Structure 1
Amino acid sequence: MRRYVSPYVVRILNGAMPGGNPQKMTVSKGVLCMSNRAMSVMNGQYKTESADIVIVGNGIAGLTAAVEARRLAPGARIAIISEQCHPTINTPALKQFAIGKLAQEQLLAYPAGTERAQRIHAINARVESINAQGKYVCLSGGQGFGYGSLLIATGSAPNGLPLNLPGRDFDGVLTLHCLQDYLNLRRRLDEVDSAVVVGGGAHAIETVMCLLHYGIEVHWLIRNETFLSKMLDDEASELILENMRNVGTKVYTGTELVGIVGRVGSVAGVVTTRQNMIPCQLVLMCTGTSPVTTLAEQCDMPMLHERGILVDDQFRTSVRDIYAAGDVAARKNPQTGVYETHAQWYDAVLQGRTVAALMTGHHKLASSSLGVSWHATHLGALYMLTVGDPLSMLEGTTILKHSTKKKYRRMSLVDDRLVGYLSLGTMQPDSLAIKRIIDEGLSIRAVKDVLLKGDFDARKYFSQSRSRAARDMVTSGKIPVVNPLVSSLPVTDRIVRAYTQCITPGGAMLSLPAPTTSRRPQTEPLHEPMPAHTLSSIDSQLTIHEWEEELLPSLSPSPIDNQLTIHEWEDELRPSTDKLPVNSKKVVESILVALPSRPASRNLWSYSRKLPAIVARSSSAQRPTPAKAEKASCHERGDRANFLL
């Protein structure tokens, strides 16, 4: 049977890839290989792979998108490229891991071996740049990897210390961000009597509570005069800081580091802008994060970015077939019209699911807006919740406040609609219910007082709203009109396959926009609508190659799709630092299969050298005996356990 190779593959075989041989080659010299993971083209020294969906980064947004894409498109080729050498972990749980409430194995965001079970090709490599015109990414070492749709989920990086700060390299100066940082912290806690925490955000205060749990004296340096100045007003900030002082924290507002003092290479203290020296053995930096936009800068076509990669409501960047999600994506705030990033676990999960639906052509599943952001955490005896923009200064905004000695609430309203909500107290309100009220623009005229006092009953409120809507429909005889969501770009229900080219009816390549030097954020749509006749002509040419169509399995749901689901993100894991358990020598039992012993020199989180082979299900004539099946099952379980070793 005759095989067809796309023009992109021809360019690869002719040496178009970085570091390739420019001499002329013919397609007949190449060998085309296909598997259920990725397609490979091998020609002498070349080995170039591709996938229909390529995801850069294996954080929660990237892995959620991969798993959801597999569920929606069982026949698609999916690949994740990441420098991270361990499975995806539940980053909000790192605070509980630091105080010993969770074992290391319990940090996994998905069950061990999810990528292998879901036929997701995991590649441990660094992506250096993007060739959007050729639709491939350049890996370290000069290799390339083609894509049909590309998702950038590179996350964020810690801000850390200034490069010119004296003493920043002393032993005992840590920046808390990833798993390795928290492992390093846990090894040092038994030797520390006094520590300095630098930062004025939620991460900093959670770190302070972690150190207090171990009985360590904590000095907390905040650059601003208030805590969380972008989310809290002065009254809320003072309530939290006073609560922290009452539990033994020494708080320094309006204070920054000038330098770090050391003794024989280790931290001995810090010097502040108030010209005082604080003795300590540990300095922890919790000064926030910044999105990693390197790939936007290293793309051959202009990709709009500033503080994050700019995306529209469907998480599309300014470059065709390239999406961004997670901490790196800057989405327009529906209330202010400003592009903002949201480094929140809840948002990252929703974004991963939405992007997966879009990349697989299931646009109806991704039609709903994600709405406003929200943040909830537990700070000792206080619960903190912010939804929307509680500090909103929009025209016509009314501010309502209610405060007692241990409670504080603030609501921002425009007419009778809620646009921002802030709550501090011993009880936490229903966060998702309040978010729904803001997202749907519901009237709170009847529940304004109970919301302000913290006695809001969400179930009763929404039940009455449904009853009222039904009564109005019966009395008026009219069905309520639902306004459909409008997309800025017409979409088609298909997966963008790798190595396809956009050909106009005349046979010429579809012209690409000229590169521009402007990268400033804008609030206009990132994609201009295309004429309907152009889309139809393009779609008629974008067909799956014969060899792809022949090898694609039937689009039937896999049994494992019903088993490997994301944790219940509605019950987001929040650090609990109120009634912390007494530190004991009791061993925390793991919820996973017992791990075999390994030499102490190996890292617990490195992958096993030996990966189990994926064996196709045997037919009834070749089905093994029950004894052999049981032996094979035991061997398979052992290989799964080795995934963490």
Structure 2
Amino acid sequence: MWIEHFLQLYLQRECAMSMQNYMRVAARTSADRRYQSGTDIVIVGNGIAGLTAAVEARRFAPDVRIAIITEQSHPTINTPSLKQFAMGKLDREQLLAYPIGTECAQRIQVIHGRVEEINAHDKGVRLSSGSIISYGSLLIATGSVASGLPAHLPGRDFDGVLTLHRLQDYMNLRRRLNEVDDAVIIGGGAHAIETVMSLLYLGVRTHWLLRKKTCLSGVLDQHASELVLRHIQQAGAKVYTETEVMGIAGNVGAVAGVVTNHHQMIPCQLVAVCTGMRPVTTLAQRCTLPMMYERDQGIFVNNHLRTNVPGIYAAGDVAALNNPQTGVHQTRAQWYSAVVQGASAAAAMTGQTTAMTGQAASGASGQGQALPVHFFGVPWHATRLGNLSFVTVGSPLARIPGSVTLTDSFKGTYRRLVIHDDRLVGDISLGQAQADGLAIKRLIDEGASIGAAKEALLKGTFDARKYFSQQRSISVMALARQRNVWTGQPHPGDDEGAPALPSALPERDSLSFDERIQHRVARPVSIVGSMPYAPLPGSASGTQFRGFHYPGGKEKV
């Protein structure tokens, strides 16, 4: 028995040491002069966007030199699983996005350090240690930081006030949960909602404070918000709308409660702050060539993740992508989006996009014309709250002249469709059944007519595979009326000088790129798709930019 016990302790120690050894290996690799003298691809940040880009770039280009520069003290983790980890459902080692040693196996150099400046003229980055690392292509994947509580808020530094964002925050949460009877959650977004549901699952009395009257006000209408709030109240949470924290009370330096703007004291032992995040744009400010960015909006990139500075790309939480519906550049701080962006950046940095652009020329209709689809398309979000799931796609709150809004509410479910010119613009789906968010996103991205699918979308019975298969068949039939696809001979009345079509049409996958990787997030895909190129707008185009920030604090409006 003592031997088995010894072996168990040894294995536990080895698992713990594997995390610590990551930083030791990273520190040793920083002394590799070959990579400091010049690297083909340099990636700043080892979040999922950065590591995905490195792994995919290695697969696209087996011989290029790739280096990741990171300040992070642990390997890349699966951040959506952090709440499961805090609840005790996962161990720390189960959070790893890739197996330990992936970087070594893929010949990816890991350099532990902080990048202080980008010298875009000479294509090099300067580290805090003084080392200069040159690059052929540079990817900024520095992620985001939590917004947190206002700096002037009394009691914000008491023990028990946690701003939940990174691994260390959730490790602190997990350690103290056994001592918590009451918790206050601050924030009105999906992050706060998921935290509330996690604490309720553990039996913690949970008080949820929202600054507005509704939750997720940017994507849910009032009816949908009320449904979510009612669901969470029924799960056991106490919800306080239009409520703000004016101060945090303490007892010998530890949290004892919060004081609200309604002069109410809510006793608690834990305050979890889930008030959003902002992109880390420091390197955009410290680039020797002016880089287009906004402090709260991220670094502006085009459909190939390129910034306006030659040779420099951005991906993940720091990258501001164009929303094709609004023309506004926005970050998409989601795991799924970061994986797609990392793979796409790898393709762009290794010269794969030119070859891939031709693949979409046939379009989904098969008629040899490019579709009016944008590379990353419209934003979307999906999550599950106990037995309630919700999906939002596109612009469900849009007010477009000539558009029609359809809603359906029945027995705890709610759906909202915004339709313009028989094309879907936005969608909200709430209910026990999980809506196919990626299929709905594809409908919007491709601008497909939804005449035959309106009722199914509204009732939650939309069958994506059947619908897109039928659309493909309709396209084939349309071609057959113009050309005899079986004999290659034109129909009577056709232009006899036109070339005949081949006798068989190539079969196209009925699933979009987004759908193909839905169940493959753990292993980023190699196909990154191809959509029309959208250049960055110039500063003279009016536009959504309040100001372009340049090094040295100068602004150009």
TM range (shorter): 0.7 to 0.9
Q: Which one of 171, 181, 186 corresponds to residue 174 of structure 2?
A: 186
1:355 aligns with 2:361: no
Q: Which residue of 2 aligns with 1:642?
A: none
Q: Does 1:395 align with 2:401?
A: yes
Aligned residues: CA RMSD: 2.2
CA distance in 1, matches of 2:220, 2:31: 48
Give the 5 Å matches for 1:208-227. Answer: 208-227=196-215
Residue deviations 1:562-618, cap 9 Å, x none?
xxxxxxxxxxxxxxxxxxxxxxxxxxxxxxxxxxxxxxxxxxxxxxxxxxxxxxxxx
Q: 1:372 aligns with which of 378, 399, 420?
A: 378
Deviation at 1:365, TM superposition (A): 5.8
The CA distance in 2 between the partners of 1:217 and 1:157, in whole Å, is 28
Deviation at 1:516, TM superposition (A): 9.9
Contact 1:305 1:520 in 2 (8 A): no
Q: How does 1:70-81 map to 2 (within 5 A)?
A: 70-81=58-69
The structural deviation recorded for 1:283 is 0.4
- How many angstroms does 1:371 deviate by? 1.3
Superposition deviation, residue 129 in structure 1: 1.2
What is the Cα deviation at residue 104 of structure 1? 1.5
Provide the residue aligned with 1:123 in structure 2: 111
Which residue does the alignment assign to 1:271?
259
Give the drift of 1:453: 0.6
| Partners of 2:244 and 2:323 in 1: CA distance | 31
CA distance in structure 1 between the partners assigned to 2:30 and 2:92 by the alignment: 30
**Contact 1:37-1:120 within 8 A present in 2 as well:** no
- Alignment partners' CA distance in 1, 2:341 and 2:222: 32
Q: Is the 8 A contact 2:103 2:110 kept in 1?
A: yes
Query: What is residue 566 of structure 1 aligned with on the other side?
Result: none
Instruction: Find the structure with the greater CA-based Rg.
Output: 1
Unpaired runs of 5+ residues, structure 1, are 1-35, 42-46, 490-513, 522-645
Partner of 2:473: 467
1:430–1:485 distance in 2 versus 1, CA, 3 Å = closer
Q: Which residue, out of 425, 428, 438, partners 1:422?
A: 428
Q: Look up the equivalent residue of 1:340 and give its one-letter code.
A: Q
- C-alpha separation between the residues in 2 aligned to 1:184 and 1:51? 38
- Distance change >3 Å, CA 428–CA 348, structure 1 → 2: same
**Residues 304 and 519, structure 1, Cα contact 8 Å, conserved in 2:** no
Aligned partner of 2:353: which letter? H
Amino acid at match of 1:244: I
Match of 1:433 among 439, 450, 473: 439
CA distance in 2 between counterparts of 1:146 and 1:404 reads 60
Q: Quick check: 1:157 aligned with 2:145? A: yes
Paired residues of 1:37 and 1:79 also in contact (CA < 8 A): no
What does residue 133 of structure 1 align with? 121
Distance of 2:447 and 2:555 partners within structure 1:
33
Per-residue deviation, 1:195: 0.6
Instruction: Give per-residue Cα distances to partners, 1:115-140, cap 9 Å, x unaligned.
Output: 00000000110111111112111111
1:260 to 237, 242, 248: 248
TM-score normalised by length of structure 1: 0.68
Per-residue deviation, 1:394: 2.4
Distance apart, 1:432 and its partner CA: 1.5
Q: Determine the structure 2 residue equivalent to 1:240.
A: 228
- In the superposition, relative to structure 1, how do residues 462 and 105 fare at CA in structure 2: closer, same or farther (>3 Å)? same
Q: Partner residue of 1:410?
A: 416
Distance 1:65 1:167 in 2: 41
Give the aligned partner of residue 597 of structure 1: none
User: Match of 2:98, SS?
Assistant: coil
| Shift in Å, 1:392 | 1.4
- Note the 1:557-572 alignment, pairs <5 A: none
- For 1:284-303, list aligned pairs within 5 A: 284-303=272-291
Aligned equivalents of 1:272 and 1:365: distance in 2? 58
Cα distance, 1:429 vs structure 2: 1.6
Are 2:436 and 1:446 equivalent residues in the alignment?
A: no
Percent pairwise identity: 60
SS for the counterpart of 2:206 is strand
Distance 1:516 1:192 in 2: 47
Aligned to 2:37, the other structure's residue is in SS state: strand
Residues 94-103 or 328-337, more deviating: 94-103
Partners in 2 of 1:82 and 1:256 — Cα distance? Answer: 36
Q: Over residues 268-320 of structure 1, what are the superposed CA-to-partner deviations in whole Å (9 max), with x where a residue is unaligned? A: 01101111111111000000000000000111111011020011111111111
1:410 CA displacement = 0.4
What is aligned with 1:492?
none
Change (3 A) 1:336 1:265: same
1:488 Cα offset (Å): 6.5
**Partner SS state of residue 38, structure 2:** strand
The reply to whether residue 143 of structure 1 matches residue 131 of structure 2 is yes
- The Cα of 1:452 is off from its aligned counterpart by 0.3
> For 1:85-123, what per-residue CA distance to the aligned partner results, in whole angstroms no more than 9, with x for missing partners?
111011111121122222221111112110000000001
Map of 1:616 onto structure 2? none
**Alignment equivalent of 1:40, drawn from 4, 11, 33:** 33
Matched, 1:108 2:96: yes
Counterpart for residue 309 of structure 1? 299
User: Counterpart amino acid of 2:385?
Assistant: L
Do 1:37 and 1:119's aligned partners in 2 also have CA atoms closer than 8 Å?
no
Equivalent AA in structure 2 for residue 417 of structure 1: R
Quote the residue 1:327 is aligned against.
Answer: 317
Provide the residue aligned with 2:336 in structure 1: 346
Asked whether the 8 Å contact 1:125–1:140 carries over to 2, the reply is yes
> Alpha-carbon deviation of 1:326?
0.5
- The match for 1:18 is none
Structure 1 336/267 Cα, relative in aligned 2: closer, same or farther at 3 Å?
same
**Partner of 1:278: helix, strand, or coil?**
strand
CA apart distance, 1:364: 3.7
The aligned amino acid for 1:232 is L
**Separation in structure 2 between the aligned mates of residue 289 and residue 264 of structure 1, nearest angstrom:** 30
SS in 2 for 1:110: coil
Offset, 1:40: 3.1
Please name the residue that 1:251 is paired with.
239
Aligned position for 2:155: 167
Q: 1:38–1:49: 8 Å Cα contact kept in structure 2? A: no
Partner Cα distance (2:355, 2:55) in 1: 15
Aligned with 2:198: secondary structure?
helix
Deviation at 1:49, TM superposition (A): 3.1
- Conserved? CA contact 1:354–1:365, under 8 Å: no
Structure 2 matches for 1:528-543, cutoff 5 A? Answer: none
- Matched AA of 1:226: T
Whether the 8 Å contact between 2:199 and 2:206 is mirrored in structure 1 is yes
Compute the displacement of 1:213 (Å).
1.3
Q: Deviations 1:359-393 (Å, cap 9, x if unpaired)?
A: 11111465471211211100122101011111112
